[in-house]
Amino acid sequence: MRNVSIRALSFAAVLSLGAVAAHAANPEVGGAPMLETKNIVENAVNSKDHTTLVAAVKAAGLVETLQGKGPFTVFAPTNAAFAELPKGAVDNLLKPENKDKLAKVLTCHVVAANALSPAIEKMIADDKGEHDVKTVGGCVLKAKQSMGKITLTDENGTVAHVTIADVKQSNGVIHVIDKVLLPKQ
């Protein structure tokens, strides 16, 4: 048997350590209960705080993917986060001719693993305060902890705070964030 250090394990393997975290009830998101028996899309459509995200997922053609087996971790920006983008940016991204660009933005919020916060916090600690998170969209987010909360910094320096962590889904987990993370520009 080979001796493998925890740092050599893949992101997904380390995340499985978080699966043994306490099994608490899911928090409500956007005034709606989030049921562990439903997938990411089925729950997100019920959150009044994520109507822009749901519209974007539909426009980008990602509904089927995010209803798939997974596991996925979605860092889900709120409507308020989308509203902070420059005027007209969301409307422009939702245009059919910008479908690929929109898909890139959205997949920079998705990790192909079930990443509960205890596992993310452990990776941050193991990496001495900052852990690189590679997304499905090819972005690299910098995960850190600030005042007991997980933060994610995109390739442009935008810092998003996890405002609601560990919303368990049948195919992964959602962490609600307060900023839209963008690919390098």
The helix (run of H) or strand (run of E) holding residue 140 is strand 140-146
Domain 32-177: CATH class, spelled out: mainly beta
Delimit the domains of the chain by residue range.
32-177
The whole-angstrom separation of Cα 7 and Cα 14 is: 9
What confidence tier does 8 reach under pLDDT thresholds 50, 70, 90?
very low
Give the Cβ contact number of residue 98 at 10 Å. Answer: 16
**What are the pLDDT digits (tens) for 31-90?**
777 888 898 998 999 899 999 999 999 999 999 999 999 899 999 999 999 999 999 999
Q: What is the pTM of this model?
A: 0.84
Predicted confidence (pLDDT) per residue in 120-130, tens digit: 999 999 999 99
Confidence class for position 23, pLDDT limits 50, 70, 90 = low
Please tell me the predicted confidence (pLDDT) of residue 37: 87
**Which two tokens mark 155?**
């390739």
Query: For residue 104, what are the contacts with CB-CB under 8 A and spacing of at least 6?
Result: 137, 138, 183
- Strands 149-153, 140-146: parallel, antiparallel or unpaired by DSSP? antiparallel
- Mean pLDDT, the chain, whole residue set: 86
